[in-house]
A and B are shown apart, each in its own frame.
Chain A
Amino acid sequence: MTDPILEVRGLSTHFFTDDGEVKAVRGVSFGVEPGETLGIVGESGCGKSVTAMSILGLVQRPGKVVAGEIMFKGSDLLKLTKEELRNIRGRDIAMIFQDPLSSLNPVLRVGYQIDEAMYAHDKIPRDQVERRGIDLLKQVRVSDAERRINDFPHQFSGGMRQRAMIAMGLSNKPDLLIADEPTTALDVTVQAQILELLRDLNEQTGAAIILITHNLGVVAGLCKRVLVMYAGEIVEEGTAEQIFERPQHPYTWSLLRSVPRIDANRGHRLLSIEGLPPDLIDLPQGCKFNPRCPFRVERCFKESPPIEQVAPAQHAACWVTMERAYAEMGAGTITDTSPGAASGVHPDGRRALPAAEVPAAVAEAGQ
């Protein structure tokens, strides 16, 4: 095992809003090895983007990183000065975002926006910047790059904009590329092209990639290792094969069960399971998944499960784990996945409404 280039330890990021402290990310730890492709999955609002933004110091008021370390090439990003951090952003760690139209500045030419990233860091010799800008556009397979580089973003199609974003991200040959839902806003065919592009780039340039997504299919196609987040925490970590074939956390298991249903329809939330994620201001005691978990036991309401090794290279935070759930609760055959259904645990009236009875308005609000 090589040394990780990025190591996040105990990262917590909270938002101090008028309604209370939104504990969006709590005690997240993981590492990224050079050239690795890591996927982060989880429902909407579970803290994937906030984690990524925290790494680059892009969290804005009222948000604040309240604890943790982010070790990158031997220094803690959280302790750097603004200028030192600026030098890392876009140079060593690049980031691309979900919506490629709104992520490009409408009044500046695409080429300018790509070149600007290189000028800002002086890593690429100045006289090569323009040439490289065109080459990059070609590399991300924008046809007629010489001419299109002078276009404005609105003259590009959605897929081309995302390609331009990727070109921008790669311009300074970063060691790590964080892609936050790079395909969500795109057509299925374009999605596939972008993923293929990311895969090729990872192989050619050796840049590590963190891919954040709702879409398990996307992760399966690209990532060697996967983190599953729930309510601001990492609940399971493992190789793609482990996560998809032998998930140990009931949440991961539930997500996988819901894949086929939603995959059919792009544009809808790609992951969704019964019930709602908890309120991040007022979190439940014990395991944060207990209000929705079919396999919960008494202990789940009292103590938060620590993340522990469940198999070689696989970790999960669960008192029960799926291995036990299969063996003792018949997880392989159940059809009722409502809270406590498999374990029969509904302590002191804590029984949550079955999903079917959740009022439609509430369910929508949670999407």
Chain B
Amino acid sequence: MLTRGTLIYIAQRLALIVFTLIAVSFLVFITVHSLPGSAFESERVHGKALQLVLHQYGLDRPILVQYWSFLTSAIHGNLGVSFQIRGLPITPLVMRELSVSAELGGTALLITIGIGTTFGVLAAMRQNSWVDYTLTSIAVVGYSVPSFVLAGLGVLIFSYWLPNVTNGVISYPAIWTGTYGTLVELSLPAVILGFYTSGQVTRITRAAMLEVLQQDYIRTARAKGLKSRVVTVRHALRNALIPVISILGPLVISIITGSVIIENIFGIPGLGKEFVESILGADYNVTVAVFTVYALLIGIANLVVDLLYTVVDPRIRY
């Protein structure tokens, strides 16, 4: 399975990811540190005391020196310390938040792919029927309605209206309680997040299915006397999934984008919430760390996608 060529390819891609991470973190580091103010201002530290604190955190050094020390410790897995919660090491914090975001995002991704491929296949099988029009319209609605609107609607129904109607038998907490939430708490944000991106999957699956269903090998499969379900799933869908895989990368990006706002709405302690809080609180080390982790995540997701191609399409070998 893993040939020499593939391993070399993976190594090259990993090198590229590292290069990207350095470039991105550098740009973000410089940009963020040019922002006016710092986390300590709000703490009313002035004059000599402020100098002392800045010195303690190394913030009085030239910016390039600061970046260099960030980079060298980042390579050892140390992303620095938070300003806001004085001295809190960022790496474990970000790792925990990453796992929370991954829980939410992973669930959303599964929902997206589930809904999207199902709708896409159904629409393609019934091209130009009302089923097709309904499903493709839902797809456009999906990525047109902002997630905070869906969140508002969901909270209104599940947190206010249903508890009222059922006298509190059904009640949905609008805000997460624990770090990882409960399954019930996870469900609404994950569905909203997943629904938003499912439209893209629906459309690309539908287009790919329509394209594939025209292919000669589908005619061959039918001429062999295979059951139509077998033709659809084994012969058509497997080929239609190849273009679907190509949007997995953009999909991960969409989900991250959506999660920034969803995490803030539902109070989910993930990377997205941290990103906004850190930037509002001028906790720049954290901002840089979160950004870098996102970039890493996306780089790895794209690599995984490219490797997935080789699994689904035997013609592709690296």
Query: Chain A residues in contact with chain B, CB under 8 A?
Result: 56, 58, 82, 86-91, 94-95, 97, 99, 102-108, 116-117, 120-121, 152, 154, 165, 168
Contacts and interface: CB of A to CB of B under 8 A. Distances in A.
Contact of B220 (A87, A105, A120, A152): A105
Given A97-B216, A102-B217, A58 B223 contact: yes
Contacts of B315: 106, 152, 154
B219 A58 contact: yes
A58 B225 contact: no
A116 B314 contact: no
A167 to B, nearest CB: 12
Given A106-B313, A120-B226, 14 more contacts: A56-B223, A58-B219, A58-B222, A58-B223, A89-B225, A97-B223, A99-B216, A102-B216, A106-B239, A106-B314, A107-B238, A107-B312, A117-B224, A117-B226
User: Interface centre among A99, A103, A168, by most B CB within 10 Å?
Assistant: A103
B225 A90 contact: yes
Interface of B: 215-217, 219-228, 230, 234-235, 238-239, 242, 312-315
Given A120-B227, A152-B314, A154-B315, A103 B222 contact: no
Contacts of A165: 220
B228 to A, nearest CB: 8
A72 to B, nearest CB: 14
Contacts, number: 74
B163 to A, nearest CB: 50
Contacts of A94: 223-224
23 contacts: A82-B228, A86-B226, A86-B227, A87-B225, A89-B225, A95-B223, A104-B220, A105-B217, A105-B221, A105-B235, A105-B238, A105-B239, A106-B315, A107-B238, A107-B313, A108-B234, A108-B238, A116-B226, A117-B226, A120-B226, A121-B225, A152-B315, A154-B315
Given A87-B225, A120-B227, A152-B314, A107 B239 contact: yes
Contacts of A154: 314-315
A106 B217 contact: yes
Contacts of A89: 222-225
Contacts of B220: 97, 103-105, 165, 168
A203 to B, nearest CB: 24
A102 B223 contact: no
Contacts of B242: 107
B224 A116 contact: yes
Given A97-B219, A99-B216, A91 B314 contact: no
A102 B215 contact: yes
Nearest to B234: A108
A194 to B, nearest CB: 17
A155 to B, nearest CB: 8
B314 A107 contact: yes
A120 to B, nearest CB: 5
A165 B314 CA distance: 19
Contact of B224 (A82, A107, A120, A152): A120
Nearest to A119: B226
Contact of A120 (B225, B238, B239): B225
Contact of B225 (A107, A117, A152): A117
A86 B222 CA distance: 8
Contacts of B227: 86, 120
Contacts of B219: 58, 97, 103
B223 A104 contact: no
B124 to A, nearest CB: 13
Contacts of A116: 224, 226
Nearest to A83: B227
B38 to A, nearest CB: 56
A116 B312 CA distance: 19
Contacts of B234: 108
Nearest to A168: B224
A180 B205 CA distance: 31
Contacts of B215: 102
A165 B238 CA distance: 20
A356 B227 CA distance: 51
Nearest to A165: B220
User: Interface centre among A56, A99, A107, A168, by most B CB within 10 Å?
Assistant: A107
A350 B297 CA distance: 73
A30 B248 CA distance: 53
A2 B313 CA distance: 49
